[in-house]
A and B are shown apart, each in its own frame.
Chain A
Amino acid sequence: MFDTLTDRLGNIFGRLRSRGKLSESDINAVMAEVRTALLEADVNLKVAKQFQDKVTERCLQIEIHTALNPAQQVIKVVNDELVEILGGQALNLAYSDKPPTVVLLAGLQGVGKTTNAVKLAKWFKSQGRNPILIGADLQRPAAVEQLRVLASDVDIPVFSENSDPVKVARNGLSEAISSGRDVLICDTAGRLSIDEDLMNEIRQISDEIKPHYTFLVIDAMTGQEAVNVADSFNEKLTLDGMILTKLDGDSRGGAALSAKTIVGKPIAFASTGEKVEDFEVFHPDRLASRILGMGDVLTLIEKAEDAFDQQEAQRAADRLLSGQFNLEDFLEQMQQLKKMGPLQNLVGMMPDLPQGVNPDDVDETRLTRVEAIITSMTYEERDRPEIIDGSRRSRIAKGSGTSIQEVSLLLKQFKEIKRMMKGAIKPSKKKKKKSSKGRKAKQNPRAKKEINKTANAFDLSEFGSFKN
């Protein structure tokens, strides 16, 4: 889709390898690329320029070590600066001495205020609080019904009435006090930042309930306009933070940088899916590499280190090399992989995917099916798949709730992997062992190539999980 910044910079740096220090003109050429990357990620033009100036200054000061790749060094500076701006001071949520702690949500239409009001309430609940939701969006038909349905699923009370939004907020506050709720979250109607009347209305709501926290809900897909939106809402309401939504899409999320630069207050939460539990505390480092289009390399490495049991991996690698790799090992590897989190997220974090693989087409349910097929086999069958004949196949298919075709396909692919592994890996035995760890694989291009090869050999597309 986009050239990654790494690719772009690679071209420029190719010709300056030998020099000890980056000259100003080199840096300007690099920064032009950085700026383009930021603009393609929807960072506002003015914000991008400001950022560029800041980073240029920092880059002029770095010494380029001959041992290190200058592109990596510059990217690191850019990335650090981005993380610094996106992160800065984290939101330190303090609860009011005089409950309830009042939270007001504001934003444009369709950014996900209602959904995130419930997500936030559920989050407070998980922190041991007793939240109540106030439905003050009387503008959009059935918005209050939506809030009620979502809230009842997670067992959180909703207050609303058919009056006007300011009144609803006021009465909601008394309701929260009388029913002993310690956190109040007020959902409001979506409004355009240029709509004077509605902006005044939300100011009135704010005056009425005196929120301890006012959050701007902002869509990660927003374009250049994010700056004006953040600015207008901040001016009217004095924001305490932001909630970034729709991060499960494939937008690069530069709007967050724009808004953050303007408002200067933390991005407190991120919404990463349609389900109520798809809501987390915001990670500035993840978004920084997403904006730069570099994949979430660091997070991936961390995850791999956490989840992968080194010894087990070593054992599997040994078996693989000796040609004893069986379906049981295969199952174990798959379960290891799943420990690292949803596969889709994982694939999305990889900076360079095998060609034709789109992380968004990865469907984890396919893995579950493979798992079901293997667990429906006897241990003997897992060890010696060649004994699986027609009648065993049909039993396995029945047992796993899949079809004979799927079972056959898995067996065929397993055979293929085994064959590829044997052929491809034997000559460089040592390197393959090392590459069981992500970081080492990264530094070792040959091992990496082999991993890609095996990834290609295990062609998931035959399971129908890739669209193209």
Chain B
Amino acid sequence: MKKISSELENTRKTFSFFSKLKRNSQVSNDLWNEIEEALIQADVGVAATSRIIDVLQAKSKEMKLSTTQSILDLLKEQLKSSLQKFNTELDVGGNPSVWVFVGINGVGKTTSVAKVANWKSKENERVVLAAGDTFRAAASEQLEKWANSCGAELIKGADGADPSSVIYDATEYAYAKNASLVLADTAGRLHTKSNLMQELEKIVRVANKGSGTVTEILLVLDATVGQNGLQQAKSFAKSVDLTGIILTKLDGSSKGGIIFAIAEELAIPIKLIGIGEGEEDLIPFDPEVVVEKILDFQEDS
């Protein structure tokens, strides 16, 4: 958890993007333009940006704010509160609870499974990993290496095996061994492939058939993604009942601004964020970190 503070330390010099504007200057059109550009460059998107600015303008007028600083502070609060209104607890109400990790290719599903396994194992929970990515070459080997390092057990099938059965087996194994949590990895799938989305529906259906209960279906989203992130979230939400989002790769210079459009249109909470490659670099969602990151621009970088 010390990561959070160092992350915050880095972003303390926030609003550097706006440094060209004098803090106490009167509000001008330049300010609104700069805010607009900052949000767009953070991948917030054109439509969501103009909605955010509309609200901000209305509120600042109502509150009779006249300085740049006060408006920037209000913006920060507004962005934070739009992400804060959701319940970000992870549900462990099953026996065992099954958390399914879904997403497109290369967003960091396997790594996220490993990091959650590490975190939960450290809390002395008995965790079983299900190597449900039977498609990508060597995906289960990747998970196996992580499993060995954190002491979680791994259930895997043959390459090309039915992922539903692998996850089902892991659930039954967990039940028999009194493990409380099953973390199910799945193959990366583009949300546009309807056959693969149907496979995902089946995975969730089958996982619920045995002793376990699917209590979390977590969409792993790469913070580098642009406007397509919304489309991804919509498509996955249409196939399965997403309970939350894991926003990965926030340690780069990417901002992940698409989450505002997702929060607004789909009301899916962000539950975890990935802030580095190490085992402990997946932390509970903190709107402060995300919003600071979005507003922290080095101009002309």
Contacts and interface: CB of A to CB of B under 8 A. Distances in A.
A224 B37 CA distance: 11
Contacts of A224: 40-43, 226, 255
Given A1-B231, A110-B107, A467-B194, 15 more contacts: A40-B227, A108-B252, A110-B105, A112-B105, A139-B277, A142-B138, A145-B141, A192-B251, A221-B104, A224-B42, A224-B43, A225-B43, A225-B252, A225-B255, A248-B190
A141 B142 contact: yes
8 contacts: A109-B108, A141-B141, A145-B138, A193-B252, A223-B227, A224-B42, A246-B104, A254-B226
Given A221-B226, A222-B225, A142 B194 contact: no
B81 interface: no
B224 A228 contact: no
Interface in A8-60: 36, 39-42, 44-45
A251 B228 contact: yes
Contacts of A363: 194-195
Interface residues of B, number: 46
B226 A255 contact: yes
Interface string B285-301: 00000000000000001
A109 B249 contact: yes
Contacts of A62: none
B104 A249 contact: yes
B194 A40 contact: no
Contact of A45 (B41, B194, B225, B254): B41
Nearest to B239: A467
A223 B146 contact: no
Contacts of A192: 249, 251-253
Contact of B138 (A146, A229, A255): A146
A252 B227 contact: yes
B46 interface: yes
Given A225-B254, A249-B192, A251-B228, A109 B137 contact: no
Contacts of A246: 104-106, 190
Interface in B31-46: 37, 40-43, 45-46
Contact of B139 (A45, A142, A219): A142
A241 to B, nearest CB: 20
The secondary structure that dominates the A interface is: loop
B227 A41 contact: yes
Contacts of A248: 190, 192-193
A459 interface: no
Which size class do A's interface residues fall under?
Answer: 35 or more
A194 interface: yes
Contact of A149 (B138, B146, B301): B138
A194 B252 contact: yes
A462 interface: no
A424 to B, nearest CB: 30
B227 A141 contact: no
Contact of B106 (A112, A141, A142, A250): A112
A243 interface: no
Interface string B252-263: 111101100000
Interface string B219-242: 000101111110100000000000
Contact of A140 (B142, B228, B249): B142
Most chain B Cβ neighbours within 10 Å, of A39, A221, A250, A255: A221
Contacts of A142: 138-139, 141-142, 144-145
B23 interface: no
Nearest to A251: B228
Contacts of B115: none
Contacts of B254: 223, 225
A361 interface: yes
Interface in A132-186: 139-143, 145-146, 148-150
A222 B224 contact: yes
Which 8 A/B pairs are nearest by Cβ-Cβ distance? A110-B106, A223-B226, A42-B226, A149-B137, A145-B138, A251-B228, A141-B145, A142-B142
